[in-house]
């Protein structure tokens, strides 16, 4: 009798354990499913757009600071090469790695501006302004202007881009007659292509190589609101 009771008791205990197990197992599965749903919950559209915008802004800031920067031409000192209203791209990575504002210092050099390069640089007389001119002579060269004609190391420096508004008229001063003078180390002598209408090294001296921001290489937009608005024929034009 006792033996049968024990077996019955054991059977009842086993049944209860199985029932309890059957109750607990679905509960654990439900919790696991909820956790999986929380983990796999997709990002909101707003968050995705915000992340994409932040990444785009960081990339744009990096490119502008170290690779390519856009500038607008405000004056006619580089006519006919660059016209007022031209928007240009400048390669900042060509000559070295330069820290952006507020540091404005060069970390490392791996290239040098060459004679004929069109460069953007910090204006020595007002460091809040950027100028664009053409390199005429580099360190060690002797430059001279005689009756408007430019000489570098005693030889005529001829460029098809050069233009003279007062071709048949000379004025006293350094515009039409300058030098000779030797360019110091780490310096550049620059002039505008519009020789008679350019404020350049003939008047304020040399450009420090460390102040060069980059080489102009492309006109990506050109706007003339006074005449015919967009100059379509200039878009995409390379700067030589």
pTM of the model: 0.75
Residues 93 and 34 in one domain: no
- Which strands form 142-146's sheet, in the order they lie side by side? 155-156, 149-152, 142-146, 178-182
Q: What is the pLDDT of residue 53?
A: 82
pLDDT band at 5 (very low <50, low <70, confident <90, very high): very low
Segment 121-174, tens digit of pLDDT: 999 999 999 999 999 999 999 999 999 999 999 999 999 999 999 988 999 999
CATH number of the domain that 183 lies in? Answer: 2.10.109.10
19 and 107 share one domain: no
Give buried/exposed letters for 83-111 (b at 16+ CB in 10 A, else e).
Answer: bbbbbbbbbbebbbebeeeeeeeeeeeee
Among 13-27, 105-119, 179-193, 203-217, whose mean pLDDT is lowest?
13-27
Which has the closest alpha carbon to 145: 131, 164, 160?
164
209 closest CA partner among 128, 103, 45, 98: 98
How many Å apart are CA 77 and CA 79, to the nearest integer?
6
Whether residues 76 and 21 share a domain: the answer is no
Same domain, 166 and 122: yes
Task: Determine contact, residues 203/83, Cβ cutoff 8 Å.
Answer: no
The Cβ of residue 197 has, within 10 Å, a number of other Cβ atoms equal to 17
* Structure confidence by residue, pLDDT tens digits, 58-85: 877 767 666 899 999 999 999 999 999 9
Task: Kindly state whether residues 79 and 169 are assigned to the same domain.
Answer: yes
**Domain annotation covers residue 213:** yes
Is it the case that residue 14 has pLDDT exceeding 80? no
Tell me which residues are annotated as active site. Answer: 77, 133
| Residue predicted with more confidence, 108 or 62 | 108
- Residues paired with residue 208 on neighbouring β-strands, in sequence order: 187
**Structural domain total, the chain:** 2
Q: Which of the 8 DSSP states describes residue 210?
A: G
């Amino acid at each position: 009798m006792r033996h049968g009771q024990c077996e019955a008791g054991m059977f009842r205990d086993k049944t209860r354990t199985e029932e309890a197990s059957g109750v607990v197992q679905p509960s654990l599965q439900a919790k696991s499913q909820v956790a999986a749903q929380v983990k796999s919950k997709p990002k909101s559209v707003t968050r995705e757009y915000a992340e994409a915008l932040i990444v785009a802004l960081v990339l744009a800031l990096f490119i502008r600071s170290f690779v390519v920067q856009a500038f607008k031409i405000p004056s006619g000192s580089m006519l006919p090469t660059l016209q007022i209203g031209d928007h240009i791209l400048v390669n900042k990575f060509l000559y070295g790695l330069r820290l952006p504002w507020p540091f404005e210092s060069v970390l490392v050099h791996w290239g040098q501006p060459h004679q004929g390069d069109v460069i953007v640089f910090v204006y020595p007389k007002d460091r809040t302004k950027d100028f664009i001119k053409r390199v005429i002579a580099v360190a060690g060269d002797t430059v001279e202007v005689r009756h408007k004609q430019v000489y570098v190391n005693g030889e005529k420096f001829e460029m098809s881009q050069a233009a003279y508004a007062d071709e048949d008229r000379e004025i006293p001063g350094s515009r039409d007659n300058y030098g000779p003078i030797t360019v110091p180390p780490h310096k550049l002598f620059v002039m505008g292509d519009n020789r008679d209408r350019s404020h350049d090294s003939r008047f304020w001296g040399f450009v420090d190589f460390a102040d060069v921001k980059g080489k102009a290489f492309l006109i990506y937009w050109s706007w003339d609101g006074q005449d015919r608005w967009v100059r379509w024929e200039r878009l995409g034009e390379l700067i030589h």
